[in-house]
Structure 1
Amino acid sequence: MTTTDPTVRALTVYTTVAAALSARIFLTPGTSGDYVIFLEPWYRHLSAHGGFRALADPGFSDYNVPYLYLLAALTYLPLPALAGIKWLSVLFDLALAYYTFRIVTRLRPVPSRAGFGAAAVVLFLPTVVTNSGWWGQCDAVYAAFLVGGVHHVLGRRPWWACAFFGIALAFKFQAVFLFPFLLVLVLVGRVPWRSLLAVPGAYLALDVPALLLGADPWRLLTVYARQTDTYQLLSLQAPSVYEFVSVPGDTGPVRTAGVLAAGVLVSLLTGLAVWSLRRGRSGAPDAAPGAPGLTDTHVVLLAACSAIVVPFLLPSMHERYFYVADVLSVVAAFVLPRRLWYVPVLVQLASFGSYLKCNSAELAPYLSMPAHSALMLLALVAVLRTTVRELSRGPQAPAEAGRPAVSPTAAAPART
């Protein structure tokens, strides 16, 4: 029986999933401050006010209604609040692993076990395990739709990709971290402009059930505007550039300047990516028509860059806001293992270190947020450098990604 035997593969998958779920079961009894202060009271409010009927006035929560739909559904099940909330997020951990498997398998069909390895790594990432299993947070929900959107981009399904981005945005505002990546795809023609209609379409469609229950439309449309005014600190234990900055007193002007500076820098990086791609030769083996020089490897690298750059530059970020970067850094490392194998290690050291700084009173005195930010900066530089090099290579698919580089001339059919 070989390693490619279907029975062996199935046994490996089941064993991996069982081990991942066991790790989460071990953490399930733990309660975090966020659960006690936010999640449990929201659940109790929904349960006491008729489940879905309580969404006629969603003001009891500062989250958008799609996640509240899921919490409301839990109130009808014979599950304790703590277990239900956590295992809801665990289901999306599995969805994250699934889309990771699909992306890596697409780009690295040889060896075939690369996709399984990437999915397993994602399932056992310390940030992914603790986010759902201990913290009870729902970052896996919006992240699964974002990674699923990347998968649909690779599959040439732009409408599905944009719909997934819209669903992710409806769950969490942090979905915007990948919007610069989406903009690059639009500007180079990989995603048609009209497909962007699916983003607000999906977002607004998820508001419809709450509207039918009697929710205030204005409150639904402005939920994220209220969120952005909640926190005034430059950094909330996030491994970002603002851990190197100390501002006494009012941080408002610095936060405003930070948002503007981040917008300018992200715009410059977006323009640089588009310019580099348009300089590339058309006819790549895996390039879409109208997307000169854009390969599937470029797509993954650009997504990983966007997931790291945006939260690193923006002020008032939380420690959990690098969650998508945690996952996409693994995907990028499995696509280009010889060049990026260490990037997920740096990202995890920075990201999970900030988790511990925030939640572990015993370890917090020994952890340095500027050090974690320096690690994230190293990861960012590594991904940016590799992305620039890949863009400068033109449309040839790298041999490291599981297939030999093929020139457009060699790949073209002979004229008759």
Structure 2
Amino acid sequence: MIFKFEDKILKFLKENIAVVALFAAIIINFIIRYSLRDFTNSDLSNPLTSWYNELKATGGFAGLGHQLNDCSYNLPYLTLIAFFTYLPVNPADAFKVSSGIFDFIQAFAVAWFVFDITNKNRNKAILSFIIAISSPIVLLNSAGWGQCDSIYTAFAIFALIYLNREKFLVSFILLGISFGFKLQAIFVLPFFVYYYFTKRKFSILYFGIIPIVMEILSLPAVIAGRGFLDVFRIYLSQTDWYPKMSMNYPTFWNLLNNEYTISSADTYVIMKTMAVMTPILIIGCFMFSWIYNNIEINTTNMIYMTFVCVMTCVEFLPGMHERYGYTAEILLIVMMFISWKVIPLVLAQLLILITTYGNFLFDQLVNFTTMAWLNAIVYFATMIYITYEMVIVSEKKGKN
């Protein structure tokens, strides 16, 4: 026989299971993140902590006035690091906590998108939030690695949300912030160009907001002595910062040769132009098919189209790191709530990314040729699925 107070508690938990699960997931997340506080790696110790130490030694914000040693990150993120130097905290903790905060902001953006896609289904939005903060990729990236991929991705997702709501000024400001923190925000830019070309609802001048926002975010460094155009020069130099066809991510180019050759500078010089042009050509073909088939840019198709752009860039561009698939992984979480059929592809992509993370963080031996085959299969399977959903399924719905 159950006591009345037990019955009331269990009834309450059942009636509010989504909210209970949310709070439980948040608590568990804090426990996991705290347990990883002492986990370190080569990126966290050098360059991140070394940049922190260099800025602290040169006066915090004042230190932004000179180029840091071996620094390929842009001025807005370095400004954030300079801010850390004034806090009475361990630099590794500062990196992990700041990225962790944006993990939750990013999860909120995912939940917002899912809320819109599922006709304001609160429970599905909460579940998407839980998945977004609990993904092994998200946890390892911020709590383990101390990286900032959730920062630029969060702003990119919010930019898409406001683009979908036709709040174009806000959308481009958010996209500019995303660009300010990571060049990889450029992976979502092709969709914004496509939206401009097909919808014709805002002027091309809106794209000029992106560099203006980047410059505003860089003002502390400019005031400290950096050049007015340094925020853009850094990204231009980044394109050749890693002169290799592949950087620990099993791209299409790993199918052509072994890891040693594909990682050589000589191969990069020969293949660079082809590797840069290939994703442009593929994305262009997709866009042509969308226009030819009169594909509507609704909320669901916006996610599909953006994913196509991001994943194609990651799969075919040279010099791709394992972390560059981060935004695609977050978009896949949203896609799970469009259709359960995409879940196997989500899990496959997650396992590929986990393996590459393991290679860097835990010295896991990886056969990159095999992984490249698996990644190519997952990529093409996902593209076929998206094309089917956007062209065939939408056409059937239109006839009905």
Compute the TM-score of the two structures, normalised by the length of structure 2: 0.89
Do the aligned partners of 2:214 and 2:231 also contact (CA within 8 Å) in 1? Answer: no
Normalized per residue, the structure richer in helix is 2
CA distance in 2, matches of 1:153, 1:372: 35
- Equivalence map 1:2-401=2 (5 Å): 9-60=18-69, 61-109=71-119, 111-189=121-199, 192-193=202-203, 194-246=205-257, 247=261, 250-251=266-267, 252-276=269-293, 279-280=294-295, 293-337=296-340, 339-361=341-363, 363-364=364-365, 367-393=366-392
Structure 1 residue ranges, 4+ long, deviating more than 6 angstroms after superposition: 405-408
**More displaced, 97-106 or 184-193?**
184-193
* SS of aligned partner of 1:335: coil
Change (3 A) 1:120 1:371: farther
CA distance in 1, matches of 2:201, 2:351: 34
* SS of aligned partner of 1:78: coil
- What are structure 1's unaligned runs of at least 5 residues? 281-292, 399-404, 409-416
CA distance in 2, matches of 1:151, 1:223: 28
Change (3 A) 1:210 1:321: same
**More displaced, 100-109 or 110-119?**
110-119
Do the aligned partners of 1:104 and 1:114 also contact (CA within 8 Å) in 2? Answer: yes
Do the aligned partners of 2:114 and 2:124 also contact (CA within 8 Å) in 1? Answer: yes
CA distance in 2, matches of 1:2, 1:160: 40
Measured after TM superposition, the shift of residue 184 of structure 1 is 1.7
CA distance in 1, matches of 2:63, 2:282: 42
Measured after TM superposition, the shift of residue 178 of structure 1 is 1.0
CA distance in 1, matches of 2:387, 2:18: 36
Compute the TM-score of the two structures, normalised by the length of structure 1: 0.85
Change (3 A) 1:318 1:298: same
Measured after TM superposition, the shift of residue 373 of structure 1 is 2.5
Do the aligned partners of 1:187 and 1:274 also contact (CA within 8 Å) in 2? Answer: no
Measured after TM superposition, the shift of residue 407 of structure 1 is 8.3
CA distance in 2, matches of 1:64, 1:110: 37
CA distance in 2, matches of 1:196, 1:394: 33
Do the aligned partners of 1:64 and 1:220 also contact (CA within 8 Å) in 2? Answer: yes
CA distance in 2, matches of 1:395, 1:162: 29
For the aligned residue pairs, the C-alpha RMSD in angstroms reads: 2.3
CA distance in 1, matches of 2:120, 2:230: 50
Change (3 A) 1:331 1:378: farther
**More displaced, 147-156 or 83-92?**
147-156
* SS of aligned partner of 1:341: helix
- What are structure 2's unaligned runs of at least 5 residues? 1-10
Do the aligned partners of 2:215 and 2:231 also contact (CA within 8 Å) in 1? Answer: no
Measured after TM superposition, the shift of residue 91 of structure 1 is 0.7
CA distance in 2, matches of 1:4, 1:168: 40
Do the aligned partners of 1:43 and 1:81 also contact (CA within 8 Å) in 2? Answer: yes
* SS of aligned partner of 1:222: helix
Q: Percent identity?
A: 23
Measured after TM superposition, the shift of residue 70 of structure 1 is 1.1
* SS of aligned partner of 2:88: coil
| Amino acid in the other structure paired with 1:139 | D
Measured after TM superposition, the shift of residue 387 of structure 1 is 2.6
